[in-house]
Structure formats: structure tokens, C-alpha cells
Structure 1
């Protein structure tokens, strides 16, 4: 029983203030909070459940539980549906805490009696709402198995603090995810889904440093689609976009997972090849050229074939990346001057 909240409140505040990795699972970054709640309230289990949709919720999904381990990467989360627990959902959506002294007889929780309470020996429940922008977003559920329990106002207040702590952690996690999405958009070409020139420059700087330390070769292939302007002029820019997307898809099939394909702009692309010298990069470029020349791109009744001109260069790790990029770009111009649909090594 909690008569004085000051000590346990201070402890919970300290736990909540600890730096955690919010990029992981809910279980990982809520574990310390719900463990603290279980110990302080002397209950058998504390779990966190989130609505599938906070505007029109249909389900509650169990995302964290003191019975789970943070080492478990994937778990089959329990699901509660509005259809089966209508009274319980209605009570939660009001935003008020549910202090069910006897969970089996309390009208807000009696729906759980046969399917959940009795099989697991749960006799009492204290559920407090997690809010997001003032709207119920989920709950923290505290369950006891030692018989009916008269929940004190201090215990309810403490459980509500647990819910608020979870709310703050979840908010930080969502902000982190949004930041990652914005970062991805900033470095991504919207049409092809490939990385863009801005990403390439950052990537090259990191890889040059890494390859220099490991004394390993780093190469690149600049790829330019031949006569792309004629494709746009003949079929229209919509077809041109389809060609660029098909080009990107074909290149991904040829390149390794660790290779980095970026769109420099227009119809010009560059593939960065880690741990690859110029000779091997030349062979990669030839495979790209051959695969692309054999691809037939369909758009309605149109059947379009493309060829590419490629320039290969091994990155000089002692010079700015722009110097090596210029060499590969110059090799592309040489390939075009030689009649296109070929590979030139700088």
C-alpha cells in the first residue's frame, strides 16, 4: 500500500530520465518503467497496450510486458478487440483510470472473466490511460493474483504516473522515427527510390576514410542511359520515368547488397563498389551494360530497349572524391564518343 508517494515518485522519475535506445522495440525502451511499476505496486504483471488507431480504435495490442524479455526480438502480441470487449473499450476511451478491486465482478472488466481472468488467476486490475495529444492512445495494465484488492488513491496516482512516463518514451520514439523518415527522404530520389547525389557525397566521404584505414580498394561506375532525351521526346516524360524506374530495378539485381547505387541527376547514375579494384569494377560495369541491353521495358503497347555508356574509375583515397568522380564522368564521355553502349575505364 502506498501512503507516501514522494519516495517512489522520485525513484520513478529517475528511472524515466535514463537514456534509452528508442529506436528499438517498445519492450526494450519501456522495460525499466514497467519493472519499476510492478515492484512498487506489488502486482504480478504490468503490461502496455496501444490502440491500433487512436481516432477509431478497433484493437488494443500488447507491446510490452514484464513477463517478456528485452532479448526477444519478435513476439506474437496479444490482441483485444472492441467487438469482444466493448464495455472495457468504452471505459478506456473516456480517459478515466479503471481501478477494478474485484476484476471478475467490476462491470468494466467482467468481460475478461472466463477467457482471461480465471485461466490466469487474475483477481484485480488497475488500468491507467496513456494519452497522446490529449487523446487515449493506450493503457498500462497492472494485474494482481492475490485476491481482490482495494486500490488506494495514491496507488492510482502512481499508476497514472507510469502511464505518463510510458507516454513520454513513446512520443520520443515516434519523433525519432519521423526524423529518420525525413532523413531518408532528404537522401532519396523520389522517382527511382535510389539514394541521391547528396547521399553519395556523404557516403563517399565515409567510405574513403574506412577504405583508407583498411587499405582496401574502392571503385565506382558512372552509368548514363544512351539517347534518353530521344525517349522522352518520342514517348513522353511519363514513359521516360518508367524507363528510369526499370533501369534502377535492373541495376539492383546485378549489384551486390553492399554496393551503393545513386542517381546523380537526369539519366546519370553512379554505383559505388566497396572492396573492389578497377579491374573488377570494369567487369561489374560490363555485366550492368549487358543486363540493361537485354531488358525490354513495357509500357502499354510500347516495347522499349535501352543501352548505357559506363565510365569506371578506382577512387583515389588520397584526393577529394570529386576528383575521382570527374575521372569516371570523363570516361563516360569517352564511351559515348566511341559509339555508346560500351564501358571505358579511366
Structure 2
């Protein structure tokens, strides 16, 4: 039985309301809840196990454990197979808490006798279900080394731990969804580069920053020469492969601070922070040379491409579109001069 049950639950409520980073491992954002459960219930360990699949679960995966506190997570997370522990899985899927006073004899947990309970000196278990959209998603497992009778307050507290875990798991799922939506909104799906929308947002921020510190800011626009011939001669699948490898060549050649975006088709723009027009010309010429000498492997054989460049320094007192248009005109001039060259504004 828990003493001062109201105080205990109030502490848990305050703990669960705290902001936390859900971008890391399950262990990192669930451990404080598990530690609270371990201390309050006075058990040997508390762990969280999640189903591999909500629709057709075949195993439970141990994703967080008080035994791992301050330690490196196991390379291979422990699992429980449905076929090996049918009675336990059935109990979990019912949604009801498992209050196994004597885990070695309780029909819901005695399957663990030889392979887990005895080797780890576990005598009692209190397992409460984690729900997701009303469906069992996993379990919080509290294990003790002495047979005990679980009081209703202890069961209620353990169920609160499971509910807190459920809320945090939901927040993590929402964060992952938001990250995916953000990537879809700002990433080009073919090349993995940032897209035009990201370019315009990023340029606006960079212009403000460079204006404030009076640092030079340049951009380059590049267009793959005769790209239509690649599509016409080899097909669009090969053309897509060329675009992907072209993007890789550029990213591997550019500096880490440079931001390359795909405008569309075979047109690309690179933002060059803290870079004067003269330095931008050097960077563009180095990239032009790398592209010219690269060989792109495709099912149709090796393909080489060249690219025409327009380079401009951004006037931070004017709209970004002004510099973008100037670089675009420079690309047209580069093509008029025979392609595979760099033309400054």
C-alpha cells in the first residue's frame, strides 16, 4: 500500500507535465517516469516494452529500462516473442493490468519461470498496459525480488505511469510526423536537396543576418547543359539518376556552410554566406571543374555532364529576387558563350 497516495500522484503529475526532448531514444525521455515508479513502488526494476506492430503484434521490444540508467543502450534490444509467451500476450491484449503477486505461479506470468524469473531472482510482477488510440501499444513492467500482494493504490499508480508513458509516446509520434511533414515541405524528393520554398525562406533570414553584420553574401545559379538530350536519349529514369548524382557531386564539393537548393528541373541555386563575388567565382569554378570531370554510372553506361553558372553578390537592401534574376540572366549568358563556364553579374 502507498502512503500519502495523493502526494505521490501529485508528484507524478508534476513530473509528467515537464517539457522534454522527445527527439532522442525512448530511454532518454521515459527514464524519469520509470525511476519514479521504481522508487515509489520499491521494486528492483521498471521497464517499458512496446509492440512491434499494433495491427498484428508478434513481439514486445524492451525500449527503456531502469537497469540501463547511465549506461550505453544494448546494441540489440531484448524482445519477447508472442509464440513463446501466449498467456502473457493474451493478458496484455485484454488491456487489464497484471498484478502477479507470485509471478512464478501466476498463470499470466509463470511462462517466464525458467528463462527469466529464476535467473534474475524475480518473484513478483506488476505490468500495466500502455494504450495508443485505445489499443494496447505496450506495457510498463514493474519487477520485485520478493513475493508481495499488490494494493489497489499501487496498481492505480502503476497505471498512471503507463498513461504518462502513453502521452509521451504520443508526443514523440506527433513530433516525428511534424518532422516528416516539414521535410516534405522543404525537401526535393528526388535529390534530397532543399527546394525553392526553403531557398526563399533561408535567403530572407541570411539577408537579414548579413545586413546586420555587413558581411558579403553571394549566390550561384547553375543549369545542367543539354539535360534534355539525356532524357531523350536514355529515358527519364536515367535522367533522374543523373540529377541525383549531380546533386551529390555538388554537395560533396561545396563547403558545409553553403546551401544548395533545387529550383526545379535541372536548375539549382547555391547560397554562399559570408562570401564576396570574387570568392564566389573561385567556388563556382572549382565546382564547374568537378562536374566536368565526374563520371556518373548509370544502367546505360557512364555519363558525363557540364553546367553553366551565373554568380551574383546579393544586395541586402534589395529583394532577394533581384539577385536571383541577375544570376539567372548570367546563366543564359554562359550558355550563349558556349556553356560549361562561369559568368559573374
Query: If the length of structure 1 is used for normalisation, what is the TM-score?
Result: 0.90
**1:267–1:14 CA distance, 2 compared to 1 (3 A):** same
CA RMSD for the aligned pairs?
2.4
Instruction: Quickly say closer, same or farther: Cα 1:214–1:125, change in 2 above 3 A.
Output: farther
161-170 vs 292-301, greater mean Cα deviation: 292-301
Whole-angstrom CA distance in 1 between matches of 2:204 and 2:225: 29
What do the CA deviations read for 1:65-86 (whole angstroms, capped 9, x no partner)?
23333x6675443333334433
Partner of 1:278: 277
Query: Is this contact kept in 1: 2:234–2:300, CA < 8 A?
Result: no
Quote the Cα distance in structure 2 between the aligned partners of 1:210 and 1:80.
Answer: 53
Structure 2 unaligned spans of 5+: none
**2:232 equivalent to 1:225:** no
Hey, what does 2:65 align to over in structure 1?
65
Aligned-partner SS, 1:193 = coil
> How far does the alpha carbon of each residue in 1:92-147 deviate from its partner, in whole angstroms, 9 at most, with x for none?
222221111112222322233333323333221100111112221111011112x1
1:236 and 1:177 map into 2 onto residues whose CA distance is: 36
Measured in 1, the distance between the counterparts of 2:255 and 2:120 equals 51
- The answer to whether the Cα contact below 8 Å between 2:26 and 2:64 also exists between their aligned partners in 1 is yes
- Aligned position for 1:321: 320
The alpha-carbon deviation at position 299 of structure 1 amounts to 4.2
CA distance 1:204–1:65, shift in 2 (3 Å): same
Q: What corresponds to 1:11 in structure 2?
A: 11
What secondary structure is seen at the aligned counterpart in 1 of 2:275? coil
1:194 Cα deviation from its structure 2 partner: 1.3
Deviation at 1:202, TM superposition (A): 1.4
Would the aligned equivalents of 1:4 and 1:154 in 2 still touch at CA under 8 Å? no
Contact 2:238 2:300 in 1 (8 A): no
Cα shift at 1:154: 2.3
Q: Secondary structure at the match of 1:50?
A: strand
- Maintained 8 Å contact 1:51/1:61: yes
1:133 and 2:114 are equivalent in the alignment: no
Give unmatched runs, 5+ long, in structure 1.
none
SS at match of 2:221: strand
Q: How does 1:19-98 map to 2 (within 5 A)?
A: 19-69=19-69, 74-76=73-75, 77-98=77-98
| 1:284-303 correspondence runs (5 A) | 284-301=283-300, 303=302
Structure 1 pair 72–319 and aligned structure 2 pair: CA distance change class (3 A)? farther
Q: Secondary structure at the match of 1:271?
A: strand
- Where do 1:299-314 residues align within 5 Å? 299-301=298-300, 303-314=302-313
Question: Against the structure 1 CA distance between its residues 268 and 115, is the aligned structure 2 distance closer, same or farther, given a 3 Å change threshold?
Answer: same
- How far apart, CA to CA, are the structure 2 residues paired with 1:287 and 1:160? 62
Deviation (angstroms), 1:156: 1.4
Please give the per-residue CA displacement for 1:145-165, whole angstroms capped at 9, x wherever unaligned: 2x1000122221221121111
2:343 maps to which residue? 344
> What SS does structure 2 have at the residue aligned with 1:127?
strand
Question: More displaced, 93-102 or 24-33?
Answer: 24-33
What is aligned with 2:255? 256
Q: Secondary structure at the match of 1:184?
A: helix
How far apart are the structure 1 equivalents of 2:199 and 2:277? 19
Change (3 A) 1:276 1:112: farther
- TM-score after normalising by structure 2: 0.90
More deviation in 116-125 or 44-53? 116-125
Check whether the contact 1:3–1:154 (CA below 8 A) recurs between aligned residues. Answer: no
C-alpha displacement at 1:170, in angstroms? Answer: 0.4
Q: Distance in 2 between matches of 1:172 and 1:73?
A: 24
Pairwise CA distance, 1:303: 4.8
The total of aligned residue pairs comes to: 344
Matched residues in 2 for 1:280 and 1:271: separation? 13
